[in-house]
Amino acid sequence: MDNISGELIYKEYVMREDYSFHAPYNPELEFYEAVRDGNSKVVEKSLKVDFCNKKGLGILSSDSLRNFKYHFVITAALLSRYCIDGGMEHEMAYHISDLYINRVDICTSKEEISALHRKMVREYLKRMSKLKTDNVYSKHVVHCINYIYDHLHEKITVADAAYEAGISEGHLSRLFKKETGMSFNEYVMRKKTETARNMIDYSGYSLSQISNILAFGSQSYFVKVFKKYEGITPGKYQSTHLPSAFI
């Protein structure tokens, strides 16, 4: 698989929730902003109304239950985007969204969907509230982290990231270690591994494809890195974690 193909597949994967839809009602921006800002007071007030009993939900399907599921998916997509804008790591936001979208797919009643919606919202809220109280990264480190996420399909070097951030390689290395508690290279490998695990969970790609998409260099190196951070080989992980789309 050439690098261009890997980039296209990776970009398609991380943008998998950019659904094209026409929002049939005001998406309650205050609600999404409150989740993003960790404002529990506003969020809990909104959650007093069951998701499936909200007025103004558009008709996206003639099947009532499927209609609520579609609206749930839209909500999950918007929540992930708002939380990313608020500082949540891309992979965490996507992982939560994927998890709850797969769960709603097997719901059999409006009550289940509403209960799952509350649980999803509160999970995002809890994580954003914690994020707001934790140390905030400097703009250079934030820029570097965003660069890493945008280039997980490539071999990432601290020199390239430093150039993009507009600071020296040595300064970025020291700053990154101080603020994240990890070296630049360790952070990159951890994020590649987390993305690989997520792709095993939520895509139909083979392990060799995932290794190539995330530019691990070789299958053996992919296995070595994955085992280091997950405590298990990708093959063994895959054997016990079938892609949710096929369950």
pLDDT tens string 201-236 = 877 789 999 999 999 999 999 999 999 999 999 999
224 and 185 within one domain: yes
Looking at the chain, the whole-number percentage of residues with pLDDT higher than 90 is 53
For residues 120 and 43, the answer to whether their CB atoms sit within 8 Å is: no
Do residues 110 and 188 share a domain? no
Domain hosting 240: range is 136-246
DSSP single-letter state for residue 33: H
26 and 124 assigned to the same domain: yes
Pair (157, 51) in one structural domain: no
Q: How many CB atoms lie within 10 A of CB 1?
A: 12
19 plus 128 within the same structural domain: yes
Give the residue ranges of DSSP H helices in the chain.
3-14, 29-36, 40-46, 64-85, 90-104, 110-133, 139-150, 158-165, 169-180, 184-202, 207-213, 219-230, 234-240
Question: For residue 172, what is the domain's CATH number?
Answer: 1.10.10.60
In the listed set 133, 149, 171, which residue is the last one of a domain according to the structure? 133
Quick one: 106 and 48 in the same domain?
A: yes
Q: How confident is the model at residue 63 (pLDDT cuts 50, 70, 90)?
A: very high
**pTM of whole model > 0.75?**
no
